[in-house]
Amino acid sequence: MYRRSSAGGSLSANYRELVTVLVEQLQSVLGPGMTVPNEFAELFRWIEHHGSQLEDRNGLRWGHLDRSTEEGSGAVIGTQIAFAALGNGDLHYWLGHDRKEVVERLCVFAQTGRDGSMAAFWLDENGQQRIVHLGSGSGSILCCVLADEPVDFLRLLAIGYEEICWSEDFGFPPPAKVPGTERMLHPSKDFRAWVAETFSVEIPLMASEIVHEPAGMDDPNTNDEFLLWLRASDSK
């Protein structure tokens, strides 16, 4: 049964049953006031049973939604995203500074594209934990709030884009083929069904139904709260 994320406090018995290596590693790099949402604990458990995982030479666990992660191996099934407890240790390269009051409000939990783009938890001005995108700058320039609620992030993944770092795709359903190739692109039916049934939600046709302000780094007229916060922090 779906339970919304708690704002804090001790873990429920249901949550403790969902603890995986991905959860434990992510908990270890969270900033003050952050939590691993229950929805993410359930997601990581799903990956453990239905997706694929690997451990790098530093012992960092990486999780993927699909078991078939090899490049060039036929059709692409589901969104290509790599979950890992990346934290904020290297964010000074992306931010251009290492001010504690900014860095500690971010925690990277996934790579969203082969260009190096990332997804992270962000504590906004009201202390609400939201999910944001940090474009690489060398490829994707998407820099905005992706979802206010963890379940909406899962709904975004379930739509079936190859990657979620390209905002120019958000106003359209996923194409039948991977752009620039002859490889077929199919949403993961198993993942879509799991998200819909577990959380009693509908999967939208396109990302614009979830990401309402897909701002770019250079967008001069954005109302996106995350990008405005970044710009304000840069000016201090």
> How many Cα atoms are found within 13 Å in the side-chain-facing hemisphere of 167?
21
Alpha carbons 122 and 105: distance in angstroms, whole number? 6
Whole-prediction pTM? 0.89
Alpha carbons 203 and 225: distance in angstroms, whole number? 25
Question: Could you give the number of structural domains in the chain?
Answer: 1
1 located within any domain = no
- How is residue 225 written in tokens? 């709260």
5 located within any domain = no
Question: Considering the chain, what is the average pLDDT of its residues?
Answer: 89
Q: What is the pLDDT confidence band of residue 18, given thresholds at 50, 70 and 90? A: low
Mean pLDDT value across residues 42-67: 92
- How is residue 212 written in tokens? 């309402």
175 located within any domain = yes
148 located within any domain = yes
Contacts of 7 (CB under 8 A, 6+ apart): 35
Q: What is the pLDDT of residues 91-113, one digit of tens each?
A: 999 999 999 999 999 999 999 99
208 located within any domain = yes
- How is residue 155 written in tokens? 């709904």
71 located within any domain = yes
Q: What is the pLDDT of residues 66-84, one digit of tens each?
A: 865 444 457 788 899 999 9
Residue 129: give the domain boundaries: 13-234
Pseudo-torsion of CA 38, 44, 48, 49, nearest 10°? 60
199 phi and psi angles, rounded to 5 deg: -110, 5
42 located within any domain = yes
pLDDT at 234: 82
34 located within any domain = yes
